[in-house]
């Protein structure tokens, strides 16, 4: 019984974090059709903000808010620096600039902060544990689960119940036309980046809370996870990203619990092969996004 | 067709200049940089054969390079070294020791075979799905290299490869690869593939078998990557799987895209340009570090400047320096124009 | 060359909740020009897509001579000698005009030399020789349309399907196009199926007309017959055309 | 209502529009004619704010909109139907129309009413409400673009070749609609290849050639100008 | 030539940086000290370091560049995987190469050549010291061992610990693996929990930030047995990350203690270091940098030249009194085995404290 509870909590807390990561990416990737390689660096920015403010004596919650704000700011900067100037040009150009921007931020952290891991302040509650039905679990995991549910609902509301979602897709597919209908396309696209940055900031706090330190390359893993989750779940659908996140957590946790030691080393190979298989079977991912308007 | 010969001639001349020039200077470091550049050239031009002609971004290229490097390593590390360098190697392979040239060919072939087997189903995909599957393929290849201790010594540094790659060998291989890439581009497969790059639906409506065309290009690219990997392995002589991952992928994709993915000229130009920029920046960084003695080290400046340059190039010339036409083509056109106006 | 027939028998095509083609039958013989007209959204483009294998059939068969096309992939159908143009021009933008045309011949299995030869011939026939070395994207709209036709012809098709080739052309350009197209069937022994909303062009070019409305055939026959057909006036031409 | 004076537009070194001037009175329907490449579409795009003017000025209802952004122009009451069928292919017909009413997104009731009116004008769009716009037939897309522009309830409408690719019967309907719109007080600037039909509905017309206005006047005056076809055909 | 050039390929960036950067700083203190006191053989010393970026390929390239710039001795990064490419280039150029603190026995003249050395004890000593301390001193009978498959160092450290621990009579209840960068320790935890037994001691051989991650994960779910490890634990950032709450009952074997009681010379060094950097050194890797330079200086003085063969001979023959303990190299045939003692440190409330010097009586075979 304790084992089962442990398993469920592991899946849910990991899945919640994964789903948030994926959601932040799918807003850019699924809706704007831009692959944002610099997404992981927003998480890094949140981490470094926490580190830089840690000596200030501010209450932790203020530092956390500042971290999220900085992630939002850098999300918007990403738009200005890497996307806006090349958006109209070519898909490859966009890909390369975002890759370059990611490199830029990482190396700026190396240059201006330090190549070495830096500690981030964590509230007392992050290192406390509770026992649920015999399974000992860090409270942090429960916070992750709660945060993911709240934020998923909030984003779903924003995209479903307001014209924002439609306006984002319109601005992304035909920028000038969107403006000619009165849609403030630049603002809309920047707001998508801001939203993505917001999610990255929250994920950053939760994710870095697991590790306790921040290094320039800290965003790499969340980026990969977000990528896979998005692909599995459906590249163009918000619920898809969420489903993909939880599914990936389920797969990872199951493999963790069941794979023998020798095979476990190849876990990533299994996971990614699965990604390839899913894409071959359903190039759109498990959950189809809104129908596409391609025709001959 | 005539301009293709001219292009080949010019590009081979560039390779010669790099090679001979680095020797004339007589500085060992330049020799090393030049050799490195020529090896990168092999890889970037190899990537161009697939990416340029099919228009699909491929992240897996470096993975095949790694495959080649490890294959050649296992085949050439002296038997008495293997106990130390590859402690977990399968027994029957411990006695194998072939000449690096044979091993290089084997590396290319193995990479091509692996590519042929794993890539066929992937070639149906386009756009984002294909970018991400190739990304996934890179991670799979990397994970395997990182964990298959018997063959690669796991994440640890593999050493003991005989140092057989020098500047002339690299130059010869680079020249051959450039010619192969140009021939492939003008071949029937190449032309049809380029048509599919521009418009998949229209190309299919003409009767082009797109997945099959892509598959052929992918195998060729993997073959070249395998050769390039072996070449590199015998130059560097010790390396770990990390050498075949994102950073390097980024570098060769950057070289190709800045030069212009659609042309072999672009691949060559991008490689030369980025290598020079990279080395120049690195030595500047070194110089800065030497002066600010004791003060904070300047780290990552090279990458920052390079990233900024890349963003700038993408904004100004999104198709790269040679977006559509090979150098030979540009020259013949310019000459013809002058004749007609004169 | 013996005469062959492209026969569309009882074809239906369905999209989610919509029958875009409803038991349509039509045929084109080599040497013949057939016009396909009908209101917007009546299924004309869909019919061409059905013939070239881009959409699945719900009912019916499509034959070219004795070969069954329905069920084959677009590629296999192209290899059977069916070429098409698209409602929106689809050139290979960053390839030269010559390469654009060569590609079509290569896809049909011609050798590099033969393809180059054939492409040059076609370019001079369509008055595009001077543009041979230009990139597809740099051409004017009319030239693009002509390259598309040259490309379709380079595959040496038995049947050529053109979707609104005159759209966006001015009267002078349309006139040249009419001239080029009207020579094709005799000279190359091919069958031509053409969609356009320019009635001037259609009426003068086509031997026979086929009219669709809401996915169904509403009239068939020569220009005079169709022009005065009440259902066609009602659904397509409009009252204005009747007394024009 | 709309005043364009000495307007110039350039693409790099190419000067597409070279100092043209014209005016539209309130409720007037003015037609802009000319051969391919004369600069008609460039003029329209510039008025709509999608292109920067390299010289001259544009005023709309007394307000200077020369360097206004497209969003501001729409808010000022001007809607554009561009010549390329710029539907958002992945969005459904209904979503496309909804975006047309972006500037009135708070006024749900008004939008619904407007939508109903447009649905009666283009019943095909009502049938296809939930279809992705990219899968519409060519003509259906053209209808959608027109309807979408009308969703913003403009006072001035710019139409760039609205009859392109439409069946003759539909073209007739479109021109009937244009007349209806005009009667309801809308100011319309119409670019057409279809000279006769354009002149049939227009109050006044301007003929452009190589970026300049060469003739202007009432339809009868234009028809009387002998070299109309020469200008029109680019001769 | 009026100066002696020492080239360094130490990594200022990447996972190796926490170990190499302090070494670099220590080396700079030594260079300044030597130059202020008349240099070596009457010549000034110039120390040029180029960032090896924690990447074996870059390190190799950097070494070639340094040799090109006239380096006469090469200082290699503090690890076999990251450092050996520099030594290999040094060897092929006929120069002496010394790693500041690579401890895998692969860092030997057997695999790298007759002019290559490491300043550190080998993992045979480090692993055996930990095992003896656990079994003989503390009486911990059962151990749980986690090995990061990352590099030769992490693998062999566990290997020698296990060999010695078993030879002492201890029992290893579970040996598990982990791969650096996984950031997820739940699989290993699940296997440990499935065992149903609690070990007396936990030996974790990992690298970089992951050590902290693993320790936290273990502590959070209630494994409070003492944790034992090697010199990769000697990183103040890791101590800080564990903090007061988790930084207890953690022991590690390292090169020296940066405070009173380790070495009589230490105070002088700390003073010099403070003059240069304005703060106290916080890890023993600082000493390895100082020691490397000071030892090179002694060897060059003894050899009377910077010739590779002569310096290598001087190193083989010499006896060196260093901040990191007395060092006496084995011959070329013995692989240049470094005979050296190890320092034991305990973390209390996130702060390191010195336990003492240890030197095992017997060592496992490399
Ligand atoms: N993929 C699709 N999904 C749903 N409906 C579709 C799809 N493709 C086409 N349709 C519908 O099928 C009908 C026929 O379209 P088609 O393109 O064949 O018309 P058409 O006769 O060529 O019209 P036009 O003259 O306007 O080009 C249209 O109503 C269109 O909306
Ligand atoms: N994006 C562009 N870049 C460069 N030149 C352009 C661009 N768009 C249009 N032009 C040029 O500007 C001139 C005017 O073009 P415009 O589209 O305004 O003409 P038009 O009168 O609308 O013609 P049409 O009847 O063919 O639509 C033409 O010479 C055209 O080649
Ligand atoms: Mg159509
Ligand atoms: Mg126009």
Cβ atoms within 10 A of the Cβ of A133, count?
Answer: 12
pLDDT, position E31: 95
The nearest alpha carbon in chain A to D69 belongs to A179
Is residue B291 very low, low, confident or very high in pLDDT (cuts 50, 70, 90)?
low
Choosing from D7, D8, D11 the residue with most ligand 2 atoms within 8 A of its CB, the one to mutate for a pocket test is D11
* E314-364: pLDDT as tens digits: 999 999 999 999 999 999 999 999 999 999 999 999 999 999 999 999 999
Q: pLDDT confidence of B295, banded at 50, 70, 90?
A: very low
- Give, as one character, the DSSP assignment of residue D105: T
Instruction: Give the ipTM of the model, two decimals please.
Output: 0.83
Domain ranges in chain C are: 1-81+157-243, 91-154
Confidence of residue B294 (pLDDT cuts 50, 70, 90): very low
Chain segment E167-218, per-residue pLDDT in tens: 999 999 999 988 887 777 877 887 888 888 899 999 999 998 889 889 988 9
For residue B302, what are the β-bridge partners? none
CB contact burial A238-266 (16+ within 10 A = b; e otherwise): bebbbbbbbbbbbbbbebbbeeeeeebbb
Residue of A nearest to C46 (CA): A296
The DSSP-derived string for D165-210 is T--HHHHHHHHHHHHHHHHTT-EEEEE-S-HHHHHHH-SEEEEEET
Find out whether the beta carbon of D34 lies less than 6 Å from any atom of ligand 2.
yes
Residue of C nearest to B212 (CA): C75
Residue D230: CB atoms within 10 A of its CB come to 12
E37 CB-near residues (< 8 Å, 6+ apart): none
Q: What is the structure's pLDDT at A290?
A: 64
Q: Which residues of B touch E150 (CB under 8 A)?
A: 155-156
Beta bridge partners of D22: D4
CB A141, CB E220: distance < 8 Å: no
Read off the pLDDT of each residue in E282-301 and give the average, rounded to a whole number.
95
Q: Cα Rg for chain D, rounded, in angstroms?
A: 17
* E105-147 residue pLDDT tens: 999 999 899 999 999 999 999 999 999 999 999 999 999 999 9
Mutate to test the pocket of ligand 1, among C24, C39, C41 (most ligand atoms within 8 A of CB): C41
Ligand 1, atom 13: nearest CA belongs to which residue?
C41
Inter-residue contact E130 to E359 (CB < 8 Å) = no
What is the pLDDT at residue C244? 42
Give me the residues paired with residue C210 across strands: C36, C220
Q: Ligand 3 centroid vs B50 CA: distance in angstroms?
A: 35
Q: Do A173 and D82 touch (CB under 8 A)?
A: no
Return the pLDDT at C242. 45
CB–CB of C11/C50 below 8 Å?
A: yes
How far does chain D reach from its first CA to its final CA, in angstroms?
33
How many CB atoms sit inside 10 A of residue D120's CB?
Answer: 9
Lowest mean pLDDT among B125-139, B150-164, C8-22, C63-77: B125-139
CA distances to B206, C108, C162, E122 from C76, in Å: 9, 10, 19, 68
Phi, psi of D23 (to 5 degrees): -135, 155
How far is the centre of ligand 2, averaged over its atoms, from the C-alpha of D84 (Å)?
A: 12
CA pair distance C238, B330, nearest whole angstrom: 53
Phi-psi region at E188: left, alpha or beta (left = phi > 0; alpha = psi -120 to 50): alpha
Question: Which protein residues are within 6 Å of ligand 1, measured from CB?
Answer: A 295; C 15, 18, 20, 38, 40-46, 87; D 128, 131, 135-140
Measure the CA–CA gap between C173 and A58, rounded to whole angstroms: 74
- CA dihedral of A4, A10, A13, A19, whole degrees rounded to 10: -100
Q: Whose CA is nearest to atom 6 of ligand 2?
A: D11
Ranges of chain D whose pLDDT falls below 70: 226-235
What CATH superfamily classification does C1-81+157-243 receive? Answer: P-loop containing nucleotide triphosphate hydrolases (3.40.50.300)
List residues bridging with C211 in a β-sheet. Answer: C37, C219
The two three-digit tokens of residue C6, written as one number: 């492209």
pLDDT means per 10 residues in chain C (244 residues)?
85 90 94 93 93 93 93 91 86 92 92 94 91 86 86 92 84 85 90 92 93 93 89 80 46
Ligand 2 atom 11: residue of nearest CA? D16
Burial of B181 (0-12, 13-18, 19+ CB in 10 A): buried
- Contact status, residue B314 vs residue B321, Cβ threshold 8 Å: no
pLDDT of residue A131: 83
What residue owns the CA closest to ligand 2's atom 1?
D11
Ligand 2 atom 24: the closest Cα is on which residue?
Answer: D36
Closest CA–CA distance from residue A208 to any residue of chain B (Å): 22
- Can you tell me the distance from the alpha carbon of E179 to that of E76, in angstroms, rounded to the nearest whole number? 25
Rounded-to-integer distance, Cα A88 and Cα E308, Å: 60
Q: Quick one: tokens of A110?
A: 């190396």
Kindly state whether D166 is in contact with chain C, defined as any CB-CB distance less than 8 angstroms: yes
Give the chain B residue nearest E149 (alpha carbons). Answer: B155
pLDDT tens-digit series, residues D82-97: 987 789 988 899 999 9
* Mean pLDDT value of segment E47-53: 88
Per the CB < 8 Å rule, is E222 touching A115?
no
- Considering only the beta carbons, identify the residue of A176, A182, A293 that sits closest to D75: A182
Q: Is A177 on the interface with D (CB under 8 A)?
A: yes
B147 touches chain A (CB under 8 A): yes
Q: Which atom of ligand 2 is nearest to the CA of D39?
A: 18
- Ligand 2 atom nearest the C-alpha of D12 is 4
List the domain boundaries for chain B: 2-240
Mutate to test the interface with A, among B133, B152, B199, B252 (most CBs of A within 10 A): B133
Q: What is the mean pLDDT of residues B269-298?
A: 78
Arithmetic mean of pLDDT over chain E: 92
For chain A, the residue count is: 296
Number of domains in chain D: 1
How many CB pairs below 8 Å do chains B and E form together? 74
Distance set, CA B280 to CA B26, B33, B285, D152, E70 (Å) = 18, 11, 9, 56, 20
Q: Whole-angstrom Cα distance, residue D29 to residue D44? A: 15
Chains D, E in contact: 3+ Cβ pairs under 8 A? no
Token pair 């200086």 is found at E297
Give pLDDT tens digits along chain A (296 positions): 677 888 888 899 889 999 989 989 888 887 777 778 899 999 999 999 999 998 888 899 999 999 999 999 999 999 998 888 887 777 778 888 888 899 899 989 988 887 777 888 888 888 788 888 777 788 888 898 899 889 989 988 888 778 888 898 888 888 889 999 999 999 999 999 999 999 999 999 998 887 778 888 888 888 888 888 888 887 777 888 888 999 989 988 888 777 777 777 777 778 778 777 887 788 777 777 666 656 65
The CATH code of the domain that includes D119 is 3.40.50.300
Asked if the Cβ–Cβ distance from C45 to D143 is below 8 Å, we say no
Which residue lies with its CA nearest to atom 5 of ligand 1?
C15
Sheet containing strand E73-76, edge to edge, reads: E44-49, E3-8, E73-76, E96-99, E116-118
């Amino acid at each position: 019984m304790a084992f089962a509870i442990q398993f469920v909590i592991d899946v849910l807390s990991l899945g919640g974090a994964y789903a948030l990561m994926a959601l932040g990416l799918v807003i850019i990737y699924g809706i704007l059709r831009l692959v944002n390689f610099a997404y992981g660096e927003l998480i890094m920015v949140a981490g470094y903000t926490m580190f830089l403010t840690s000596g200030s004596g501010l209450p932790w919650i203020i530092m956390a808010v500042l971290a999220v704000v900085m992630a939002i700011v850098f999300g918007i900067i990403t738009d200005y620096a890497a996307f806006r100037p090349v958006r109209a040009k070519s898909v490859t150009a966009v890909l390369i600039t975002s890759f370059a921007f990611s490199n830029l931020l990482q190396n700026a952290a190396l240059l201006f902060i330090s190549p070495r891991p830096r500690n981030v302040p964590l509230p007392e509650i992050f290192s406390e544990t509770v026992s649920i039905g015999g399974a000992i679990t860090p409270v942090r995991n429960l916070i992750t689960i709660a945060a993911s549910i709240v934020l998923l609902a909030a984003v779903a509301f924003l995209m479903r119940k307001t014209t924002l979602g439609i306006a984002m897709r319109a601005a992304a597919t035909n920028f000038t036309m969107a403006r000619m209908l009165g849609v403030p396309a630049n603002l809309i696209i920047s707001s998508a980046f801001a939203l993505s940055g917001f999610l990255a900031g929250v994920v950053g706090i939760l994710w870095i809370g697991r590790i306790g330190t921040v290094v320039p390359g800290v965003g790499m893993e969340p980026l990969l996870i977000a990528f896979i989750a998005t692909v599995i779940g459906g590249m163009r659908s918000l619920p898809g990203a969420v489903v993909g996140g939880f599914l990936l957590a389920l797969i990872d946790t199951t493999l963790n619990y069941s794979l023998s030691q020798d095979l476990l080393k190849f876990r990533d190979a299994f996971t990614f092969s699965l990604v390839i298989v899913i894409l071959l079977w359903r190039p759109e991912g498990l959950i189809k996004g809104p129908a596409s308007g391609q025709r001959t | 067709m005539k301009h293709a010969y001219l292009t080949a001639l010019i590009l081979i001349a560039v390779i010669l200049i790099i090679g001979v020039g680095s020797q004339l200077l007589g500085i060992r470091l330049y020799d090393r940089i030049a050799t490195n550049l020529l090896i990168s050239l092999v890889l970037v031009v190899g990537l161009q054969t697939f990416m340029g002609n099919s228009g699909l971004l491929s992240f897996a290229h470096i993975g095949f390079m790694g495959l080649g490097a490890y294959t050649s390593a296992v085949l050439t590390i002296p038997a008495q070294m293997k106990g130390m360098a590859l402690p977990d190697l399968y027994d029957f392979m411990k006695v194998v020791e072939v000449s690096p040239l044979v091993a290089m060919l084997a590396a290319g072939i193995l990479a091509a075979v692996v590519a042929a087997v794993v890539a066929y189903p992937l070639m149906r995909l386009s756009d984002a799905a294909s970018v991400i599957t190739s990304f996934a393929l890179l991670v799979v290849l990397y994970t395997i290299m990182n964990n298959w201790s018997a063959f690669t010594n796991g994440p640890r540094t593999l050493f003991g490869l005989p140092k057989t790659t020098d500047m002339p060998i690299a130059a010869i291989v680079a020249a051959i690869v450039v010619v192969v890439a140009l021939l492939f581009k003008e071949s029937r497969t190449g032309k049809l593939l380029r048509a599919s790059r521009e418009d998949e639906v229209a190309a299919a409506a003409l009767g082009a078998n797109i997945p099959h065309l892509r598959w052929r290009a992918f195998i060729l690219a993997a073959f070249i990557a395998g050769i390039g990997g072996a070449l590199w392995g015998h130059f560097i002589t010790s390396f770990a799987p990390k050498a075949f991952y994102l950073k390097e992928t980024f570098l060769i994709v950057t070289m190709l895209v800045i030069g212009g993915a659609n042309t072999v000229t672009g691949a060559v130009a991008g490689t030369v340009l980025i290598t020079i920029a990279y080395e120049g920046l690195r030595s500047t960084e070194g110089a800065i570090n030497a002066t600010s003695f004791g003060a904070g080290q300047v780290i990552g400046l090279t990458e920052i400047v390079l990233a900024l340059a890349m963003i700038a190039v993408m904004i100004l010339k999104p198709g790269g320096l040679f977006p559509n036409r090979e150098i030979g083509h540009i020259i013949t056109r310019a000459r013809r124009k002058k004749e007609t106006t004169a | 060359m013996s005469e062959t027939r492209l026969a569309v028998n009882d074809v239906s095509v369905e999209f989610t909740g919509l029958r875009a083609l409803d038991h349509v039958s039509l045929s084109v013989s080599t040497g013949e020009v057939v016009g396909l007209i009908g209101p917007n959204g009546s299924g004309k483009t869909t019919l061409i897509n059905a013939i070239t294998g881009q959409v699945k059939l719900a009912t019916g068969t499509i034959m070219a001579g004795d070969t069954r096309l329905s069920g084959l992939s677009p590629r296999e159908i192209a290899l059977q000698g069916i070429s098409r143009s698209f409602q929106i021009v689809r050139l290979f933008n960053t390839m030269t005009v010559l390469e654009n045309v060569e590609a079509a011949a290569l896809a049909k299995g011609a050798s590099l030399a033969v393809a180059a030869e054939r492409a040059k011939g076609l370019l001079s026939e369509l008055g595009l020789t001077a543009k041979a070395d230009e990139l597809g994207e740099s051409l004017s709209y009319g030239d693009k349309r002509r390259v598309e036709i040259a490309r379709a012809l380079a595959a040496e098709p038995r049947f050529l399907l053109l979707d609104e080739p005159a759209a966006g052309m001015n009267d002078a350009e349309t006139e040249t196009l009419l001239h080029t197209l009207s020579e094709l069937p005799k000279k190359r022994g091919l069958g031509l199926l053409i969609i356009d909303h320019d009635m001037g062009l259609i009426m003068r070019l086509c031997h026979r007309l086929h009219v669709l409305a809401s996915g169904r055939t509403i009239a068939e026959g020569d220009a005079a017959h169709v022009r005065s057909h009440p259902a066609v006036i009602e659904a397509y031409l409009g009252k204005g055309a009747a007394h024009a | 209502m709309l005043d364009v004076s000495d307007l110039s537009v350039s693409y790099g070194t190419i000067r597409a529009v070279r100092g043209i001037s014209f005016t539209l009175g309130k409720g007037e329907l003015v037609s802009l004619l000319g051969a391919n490449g004369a600069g008609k579409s460039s003029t329209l795009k510039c008025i709509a704010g999608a292109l920067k003017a390299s010289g001259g000025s544009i005023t709309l209802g007394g307000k200077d909109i020369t360097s206004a952004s497209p969003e501001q122009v729409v808010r000022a009451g001007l809607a554009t139907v561009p010549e390329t069928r710029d539907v958002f292919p992945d969005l459904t017909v209904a979503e496309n129309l909804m975006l047309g009413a972006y500037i009135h997104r708070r006024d749900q009731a008004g939008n619904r009413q407007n939508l109903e009116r447009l649905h009666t004008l283009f019943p095909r769009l009502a049938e296809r409400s939930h279809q992705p716009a990219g899968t519409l037939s060519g003509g259906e897309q053209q209808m959608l673009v027109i309807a979408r522009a009308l969703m913003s309830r403009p006072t001035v409408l710019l139409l760039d070749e609205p009859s392109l690719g439409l069946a003759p019967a539909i073209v007739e309907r479109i021109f009937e609609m244009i007349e209806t719109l005009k009667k309801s007080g809308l100011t319309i600037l119409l670019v057409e290849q279809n000279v006769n039909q354009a002149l049939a509905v227009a109050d006044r017309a301007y003929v452009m050639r190589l970026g300049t206005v060469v003739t202007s006047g009432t339809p009868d005056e234009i028809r009387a100008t002998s070299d109309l076809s020469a200008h029109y055909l680019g001769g | 030539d009026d100066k002696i050039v020492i080239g360094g390929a130490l990594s200022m960036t990447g996972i190796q940086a926490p170990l190499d950067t302090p070494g670099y700083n220590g080396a700079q203190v030594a260079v300044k000290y030597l130059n202020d006191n008349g240099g070596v053989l009457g010549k000034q010393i110039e120390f040029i370091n180029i960032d090896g970026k924690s990447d074996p390929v870059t390190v190799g390239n950097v070494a070639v560049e340094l040799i090109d710039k006239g380096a006469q001795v090469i200082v290699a990064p503090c690890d076999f995987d990251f450092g050996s490419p520099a030594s290999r280039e040094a060897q092929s150029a006929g120069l002496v190469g010394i790693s500041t603190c690579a401890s895998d026995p692969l860092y030997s003249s057997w695999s790298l050549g007759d002019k290559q050395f490491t300043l550190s004890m080998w993992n045979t000593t480090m692993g055996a010291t930990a095992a003896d301390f656990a079994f003989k001193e503390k009486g911990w009978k059962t151990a749980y061992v986690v090995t990061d498959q990352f590099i030769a160092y992490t693998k062999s450290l566990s290997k020698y610990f296990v060999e010695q621990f078993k030879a002492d009579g201890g029992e290893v209840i579970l040996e598990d693996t982990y791969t650096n960068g996984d950031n997820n320790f739940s699989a290993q935890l699940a296997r440990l929990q499935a065992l149903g037994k609690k070990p007396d001691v936990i030996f974790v051989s990992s690298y970089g930030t992951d050590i902290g991650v693993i320790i936290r994960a273990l502590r959070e779910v209630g494994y409070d047995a003492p944790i034992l490890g090697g010199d990769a634990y000697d990183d103040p950032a890791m101590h800080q990350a564990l903090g007061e709450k988790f930084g207890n009952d953690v022991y590690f074997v390292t090169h020296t203690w940066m405070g009173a009681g380790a070495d009589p010379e230490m105070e002088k060094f700390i003073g010099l270091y403070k003059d240069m950097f304005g703060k106290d050194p916080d890890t023993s890797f600082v000493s390895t940098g100082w020691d490397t330079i000071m030892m090179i200086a002694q060897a060059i003085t003894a050899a009377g030249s910077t010739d590779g063969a002569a310096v290598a001979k001087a190193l083989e023959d010499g006896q060196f009194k260093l901040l990191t303990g007395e060092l006496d190299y084995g011959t070329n045939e013995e692989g240049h085995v470094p005979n050296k003692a190890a320092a034991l440190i305990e973390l209390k409330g996130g702060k390191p404290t010195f336990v003492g010097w240890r030197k095992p009586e017997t060592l496992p075979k490399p």
